[in-house]
């Protein structure tokens, strides 16, 4: 979830050996732009009369990459971000998807909610500002990941990299922030919040988008598509189950989709070793205060017994919600890699089973043999694409060629090549493009 930060650190460290760096942030951002930006990316000129500004890449990068309280925080927005400007981060060639023939989108930041002193921002992306007055755009909400804990990188670069692909397909893309469960990132006033507060942020973001159809170029009756990565995939799936009649389809990248199954496996000893240290993240989402007071092992039993905690676990166990009416649930295209160190395969296999009409009430049933085969697994009207050998955040380009021989091989492939290897970048690209096509189908 923080690979982009790691890549930047490597650039600064490796090249810093040859330079006397007095401004490391400026240096790292400059090198990132030199190495990764597609400088000649086309854009559509704005119509006359539209309020516009310019946000240069250096200013954007220093804030979005290095400032923990900046990303999607209206209080810390740099000058011009509340007006339409060309997206500085969307020209970075860090995604497995090529930018050839893709236009740089326009973007601006708005405040969609105030939760006490915490202001929640939302970035809005569109290819052609002239389309805002035509009501022909399609609305899409793209939720950032980061373990419900981070915004930096995940709420900026990760979204910026894919936004041009979506605006090219005729979407107006809304990327909302949300409050965070721990005290590690984001503005101080938006930290250490509960999972319940985050879910309410998502409800409010969805309502804000629906209420601003006229302003942002889509029909008020239009259904909304949702996309999310990791924890953002969880929140996108939440929107699909919270507003099933208002959501068209969902594209879920390596989502946390089934709290009940995850915590049951952790409690009964069935969770793979590589996921055990991630259990605390889910427990903090449920009740951070109780987690601090009781510890992980006691909390694993509390969430199965305490009525309030149990209800929150069930609300975030999406296979059970889908299984209530799989034919009418908004269809999903789910993508997951077999080497994912954060998300167990059962999170997606049980979702696939629910869409296929299977009984998923027994949380110990994994359905792995039936729905975790490499390639496309059919799940009724939905699909699960399993990428063999792919890691978490496989949508990032493989950077192994850039840093080969400069870092240890294990770090090279597992951290800087999340798709598995350079050849598998094309498989990840194909899967994502299929997911985009799935979204645009009627």
Domains of the chain: 3-440 (3.40.50.1820)
Q: Which of 221, 172, 183 is nearest to 68 (CA)?
A: 183
Q: What is the pLDDT of residue 302?
A: 96
Strand ranges across the sheet with 118-126: 85-86, 106-115, 118-126, 171-176, 138-143, 224-229, 247-253, 332-337, 382-387, 375-379
Please answer whether residues 138 and 409 qualify as being in contact, where contact means their C-beta atoms are separated by less than 8 angstroms: no
pTM of the model: 0.92
Distance separating alpha carbons of residues 53 and 86, to the nearest angstrom:
8
Q: What is the pLDDT of residue 398?
A: 65
Distance separating alpha carbons of residues 379 and 334, to the nearest angstrom:
10
Question: Measured between alpha carbons, how far is residue 289 from residues 109, 282, 399 in Å?
Answer: 32, 13, 40
Rg (CA), the chain: 21
Beta-bridge partner residues of 109: 123
Q: How many Cβ atoms are within 10 Å of 359's Cβ, its own excluded? A: 9
**pLDDT single digits (tens) 242-271:** 999 999 999 999 999 999 999 999 999 999
Question: Measured between alpha carbons, how far is residue 252 from residues 137, 146, 332, 436 in Å?
Answer: 21, 14, 7, 11
Q: What is the pLDDT of residue 206?
A: 98
Residue 208: CA count within 13 A, CB half-sphere: 21
Please answer whether residues 396 and 95 qualify as being in contact, where contact means their C-beta atoms are separated by less than 8 angstroms: yes
Distance separating alpha carbons of residues 254 and 385, to the nearest angstrom:
10
3-state helix, strand, coil in the chain (%, to 5): 45, 15, 40
pLDDT digits (tens), the chain, 442 positions: 444 445 444 544 444 444 444 566 777 777 777 777 766 899 999 998 888 898 888 888 877 777 777 677 787 777 777 899 999 999 988 888 999 999 999 999 999 999 999 999 999 999 999 999 999 999 999 999 999 998 887 878 889 999 999 999 999 999 999 999 988 888 899 999 999 999 999 999 999 999 999 999 999 999 999 999 999 999 999 999 999 999 999 999 999 999 999 999 999 999 998 998 899 999 999 999 999 999 999 999 999 999 999 999 999 999 999 999 999 999 999 999 999 999 999 999 999 999 999 999 999 999 999 999 999 999 999 999 999 999 888 888 765 444 444 444 454 444 556 655 555 688 999 999 999 999 999 8
Cβ within 8 Å of residue 410, ≥6 positions away: none
Cβ within 8 Å of residue 414, ≥6 positions away: 339, 341, 391
């Amino acid at each position: 979830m923080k690979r982009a930060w790691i890549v930047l650190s490597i650039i600064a460290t490796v090249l810093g050996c040859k330079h006397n760096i007095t401004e490391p942030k400026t240096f790292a951002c400059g090198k990132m732009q030199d190495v990764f930006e597609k400088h000649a990316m086309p854009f559509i000129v704005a119509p006359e009369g539209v309020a516009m500004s310019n946000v240069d890449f250096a200013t954007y990068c220093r804030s979005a990459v290095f400032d923990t309280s900046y990303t999607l925080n209206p209080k810390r927005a740099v000058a011009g971000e509340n007006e339409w400007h060309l997206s500085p981060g969307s020209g970075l060639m860090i995604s497995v998807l090529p930018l050839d023939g893709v236009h740089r989108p326009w973007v601006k930041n708005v405040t969609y909610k105030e939760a006490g002193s915490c202001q929640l921002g939302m970035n809005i992306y569109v290819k052609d500002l002239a389309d805002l007055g035509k009501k022909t755009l399609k609305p899409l909400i793209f939720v950032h990941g980061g373990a419900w804990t981070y915004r930096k990188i995940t709420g900026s670069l990760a979204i910026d990299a894919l936004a041009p692909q979506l605006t090219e397909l005729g979407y107006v893309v809304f990327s909302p922030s949300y409050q965070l469960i721990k005290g590690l990132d984001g503005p101080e006033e938006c930290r250490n919040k509960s999972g319940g507060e985050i879910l309410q942020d998502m409800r409010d973001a969805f309502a804000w988008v629906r209420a601003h159809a006229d302003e942002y170029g889509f029909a008020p009756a239009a259904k909304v598509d949702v996309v999310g990565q990791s924890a953002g995939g969880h929140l996108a799936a939440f929107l699909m189950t919270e507003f099933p009649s208002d959501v068209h389809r969902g594209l879920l990248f390596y989502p946390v989709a089934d709290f009940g199954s995850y915590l049951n496996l952790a409690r009964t000893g069935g969770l793979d070793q590589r996921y055990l240290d991630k259990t605390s993240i889910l427990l903090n989402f449920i009740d951070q205060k109780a987690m601090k007071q009781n510890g992980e092992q006691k909390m694993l039993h509390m969430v199965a017994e305490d009525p309030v905690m149990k209800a929150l676990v069930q609300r975030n166990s999406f296979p059970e919600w889908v299984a209530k009416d799989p034919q009418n649930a908004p269809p999903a295209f789910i993508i997951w890699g077999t080497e994912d160190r954060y998300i167990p395969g059962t999170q997606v296999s049980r979702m696939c089973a629910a869409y296929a009409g299977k009984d998923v009430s027994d949380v110990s049933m994994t359905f792995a043999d039936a729905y975790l085969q490499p390639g496309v697994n059919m799940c009724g009207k939905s699909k699960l694409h399993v990428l063999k050998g792919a890691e978490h955040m496989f949508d990032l380009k493989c950077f192994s060629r850039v840093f080969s021989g400069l870092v240890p091989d294990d770090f090279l492939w597992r951290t800087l090549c999340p798709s598995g290897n350079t050849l598998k970048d094309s498989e990840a690209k194909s899967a994502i493009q299929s997911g985009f096509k799935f979204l645009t189908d009627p």
